[in-house]
Amino acid sequence: MTNGNGLAKEWDDAAESWVDFVRQGKDYFRDELNNPGMFKMIGNVRDQFVLDVACGEGYSTRILARKGAKVIGIDLSKKLIEYAKSQEQKEKLGISYYVTDSAVLSMFPAERFDLVTCFMAMMDIEHYDKAIGEIARVIKDEGRFVFSITHPCFEYNAKNGKTEAEITPRYFETRRECVSWDMKRLLSPFETTSFHRTLTDYSDVLNRHGLLIRRLLEPTPTKKGFTKYPPLKQVLLKPHSIIFETIKTARRKRRKRSER
């Protein structure tokens, strides 16, 4: 599939299986590795205006809201947003959800948010340059964009019930990839599209849009995760993901003025 509508359909088709996977505690890479790392990087969000990009069914969006943030979630998948809205009706956390491409945030004014987050999804966004440009536009001066991605230097593949990491072949080749989700703990298997990019690709785009990389984190499993889920032990040898904390610099505003 080669366009935004195609990517949305992939996640619409996967929605039921994905929601069960996330909400029933089956996604231990999220719960015991990536989310703890993300929230450590994010820190205190009380009373902050937060935009959660590619929020899916709202799992991490709800955590942000429970921590005291005023949150809006967006996603390309209409069905995942329907699941998110349904849960909001039950919990009433004050979250608003929108169906939109992350490269089109025209419903939000400039400098609206203190923080923008994207949990393990930037590698699934096709037009990431435009998306990061829009994210930079809606962040306040000195506001932050914190996002996590699968580590582009390594590929994790399930083999014989174990998760194994290998050096990513053709690392410097930017490309579209098919991701097969076929773990036994899923209700049903599905496929999605991801985009392999180098760390330099991400760094260059962030810099171009005035987002300065302040910190990086390659998370390691929690003690519970390391003990309970053997596949997570591989992450102590080779990282599964990488988290970026970026800050919007005044340089972006000066450049925009000079372009007028």
The DSSP code sequence of 50-70 is EEEET-TTSHHHHHHHHTT-E
Residue 256 pLDDT > 60, yes or no? no
- Domain membership of residue 163 (yes or no) is no
At position 227, the amino acid (one-letter code) is: T
Tell me the pLDDT band of 1, cut-offs 50, 70 and 90. Answer: very low
Q: What is the pLDDT of residues 150-173, one digit of tens each?
A: 999 998 765 544 566 787 888 999
Closest CA to 209 of 245, 253, 258, 244: 253
- Domain membership of residue 169 (yes or no) is no
State the pLDDT at residue 163: 61
- Domain membership of residue 182 (yes or no) is no
Lowest mean pLDDT across 40-54, 68-82, 205-219, 225-239: 225-239
Percent of the chain, pLDDT > 70? Answer: 92
What is the Cα–Cα distance from 173 to 198, expressed in whole angstroms? 8
Percent of the chain, pLDDT > 90? Answer: 86
What separation in angstroms does the CA of 166 have from each of 30, 155, 159? 20, 5, 12
User: Residues 71, 117: contact at Cβ < 8 Å?
Assistant: no
Contacts of residue 82, defined as CB under 8 A and 6 or more positions apart, other chains included, come to none
- Domain membership of residue 84 (yes or no) is yes
- Domain membership of residue 129 (yes or no) is yes
CATH classification of the domain holding 121:
3.40.50.150
Residue with tokens 């410097």: 172
| Structural domain for 208, as ranges | 4-151+198-259
Residue 254 pLDDT > 70, yes or no? no
By residue count, the chain amounts to 260
Tokens of 181: 């989700």
What is the Cα–Cα distance from 41 to 39, expressed in whole angstroms? 5
State the pLDDT at residue 167: 78
- Domain membership of residue 161 (yes or no) is no
Residue with tokens 């049903």: 188
> How many separate domains does the chain show?
1
- Domain membership of residue 165 (yes or no) is no
Mean pLDDT across the chain:
93
Contacts of residue 134, defined as CB under 8 A and 6 or more positions apart, other chains included, come to 102, 103, 104, 105
User: Residues 245, 234: contact at Cβ < 8 Å?
Assistant: no
- Domain membership of residue 30 (yes or no) is yes
Q: Across the chain, where does the E strand assignment appear?
A: 49-53, 70-75, 96-99, 113-118, 139-150, 154-159, 162-167, 175-181, 190-196, 211-217, 241-248
Average pLDDT over residues 4-8: 86
User: Residues 193, 10: contact at Cβ < 8 Å?
Assistant: yes
Residue 61 pLDDT > 90, yes or no? yes
User: Residues 95, 62: contact at Cβ < 8 Å?
Assistant: yes
Lowest mean pLDDT across 25-34, 141-150, 249-258: 249-258
Where does residue 10 fall: left (phi above 0), alpha (psi -120 to 50 degrees), or beta otherwise? alpha
State the pLDDT at residue 2: 38
At position 74, the amino acid (one-letter code) is: I
Q: What is the pLDDT of residues 94-149, one digit of tens each?
A: 999 999 999 999 999 999 999 999 999 999 999 999 999 999 999 999 999 999 99
